Amino acid sequence: MSTAFKQALEDGKFVVTSEIGPPKGVNLDPMKHHIELLKDRVDALNVTDNQSSVMRFPSLGGTLNVKELGAEPILQMTCRDRNRLALQADLLFAYSRGVRNVLCLTGDAVPVGDHKQAKAVFDLESVQLLHTVRHLETGKDLGGNDLDGPVEFCVGAIVTPEADPLEPQLLKFEKKIQAGAEFFQTQAIYDLNNFRAFMDFARQFEVKILAGIVLLVSARMARYMNANVPGIFVPDELIAELEAAPKGEALKTGIRIAGRMIRELREEKICDGVHIMAIGKEEVVPDILAAAGM
């Protein structure tokens, strides 16, 4: 069985995905508005799973909204909040409701979020979750029991091309491929030369790579990420470009930078597509794509 997203990957087109962050609460209107706005511009929409360990409306619920509004969802699934029983059960439910793309993640640490005293689960982690999905596809659960009705998913994972040190990250990337990952959405990249070097390594494997594009909205944000977010490196030239923006125009500059990167990745066929993360600014994703000439 092929999902529309998997078909897009296999067709060899330059694939575009973006992400939807579910709300804290049950007012789903802004999320639905973002889905409506993006659904015809992208090949699939990720729905984040208690992102940054902040409790929200669940990713599974969000993917159903994406389906209902006629778009293709990618279910982000972390191992932080559920043990192997709950993860498998949610995969069965997702499949039953037509949610067939899964991004397997370990999940952020509990202390970075808003429920700092919570018990972290991590019964499984990303590589084991990938194995689990592939195992369910054989018609058995992790307990070795038969499933009444098989499942089939298009399975992805993440990789951090700017990780420091990089070598252990690449080793894990290979383990994820062996575990069955078909596609990767990367952590944000900003230095295309570094990314080209990563792609030289990644090209030896039969997997699709979507470069992570995180919209920069100010020089301050770029500096903050450089100092505080592991695996993110914004080069000085980009920070200077944001700094040089006239007052009130930094967002516009960020859109131009993101668009320019996407255009270069696409025209030079550096990777198989992009995953655009416009954290809190989903409404400008169409502008980013326009700036990329798409």
Partner 1 sequence: MKTITRLKDMDKIENSLAGDTGVCIVGCGTCATMCRTGGQEQVASMKRSLQALGKVLTGTLVVPTACDELSPQAVRDHKHAFDDADAVLAMTCAFGVQTLASTLMRPVIPALDTLFLGKEQAVGSYSEICMQCGECVLEDTAGICPVTACHKGLLNGPCGGTNKGKCEIGNDTDCAWAMIYNRLQAMGRLDRMRKYQPPKNYQAVSKPGKVQIPLQGSEAQ
For residue 131, state whether it binds partner 1 (rule: CB under 8 A).
Answer: yes
For residue 160, state whether it binds partner 1 (rule: CB under 8 A).
Answer: yes
For residue 74, state whether it binds partner 1 (rule: CB under 8 A).
Answer: no
For residue 112, state whether it binds partner 1 (rule: CB under 8 A).
Answer: yes
* x/- letters, 212..231, toward partner 1 (CB under 8 A): ------------------xx
- Cβ distance 92 to 142 under 8 Å? no
For residue 192, state whether it binds partner 1 (rule: CB under 8 A).
Answer: no
Amino acid sitting at position 257:
I
DSSP codes joined into one string, 69-117: TT--EEEEEESSS--HHHHHHHHHHHHHTT--EEEEE----GGGSS-TT
Stated as kind and residue range, the H or E segment containing 171 is: helix 167-178
Query: What is the Cα–Cα distance from 129 to 108, expressed in whole angstroms?
Result: 15
Residue number, 97 or 175, with CB nearest to partner 1: 175
For residue 28, state whether it binds partner 1 (rule: CB under 8 A).
Answer: no
Of the residues 119, 164, 193, 204, which one makes contact with partner 1 according to CB under 8 A: 164
For residue 180, state whether it binds partner 1 (rule: CB under 8 A).
Answer: no
For residue 96, state whether it binds partner 1 (rule: CB under 8 A).
Answer: no
Of the residues 64, 91, 127, 199, which one makes contact with partner 1 according to CB under 8 A: 127
For residue 120, state whether it binds partner 1 (rule: CB under 8 A).
Answer: yes
Residue number, 166 or 245, with CB nearest to partner 1: 166
- Cβ distance 21 to 278 under 8 Å? no
For residue 239, state whether it binds partner 1 (rule: CB under 8 A).
Answer: no
Query: What is the Cα–Cα distance from 60 to 40, expressed in whole angstroms?
Result: 21
Structure token pair of residue 65: 């909204």
Residue number, 120 or 251, with CB nearest to partner 1: 120
* Residue among 88, 158, 97 nearest 123 (CA): 88
Of the residues 48, 51, 128, 253, which one makes contact with partner 1 according to CB under 8 A: 128
Phi and psi based region of residue 280 (left: phi greater than 0; alpha: psi -120 to 50; beta: remaining): left
Residue number, 175 or 260, with CB nearest to partner 1: 175
Number of Cβ within a 10 Å radius of residue 85: 12
Query: What is the Cα–Cα distance from 125 to 176, expressed in whole angstroms?
Result: 11
For residue 108, state whether it binds partner 1 (rule: CB under 8 A).
Answer: yes
For residue 243, state whether it binds partner 1 (rule: CB under 8 A).
Answer: no
Residues making contact with partner 1 (CB under 8 A): 80, 84, 106-109, 111-112, 120, 122-128, 131, 142, 158, 160, 163-165, 167-169, 171-172, 174-175, 178-179, 187, 230-231
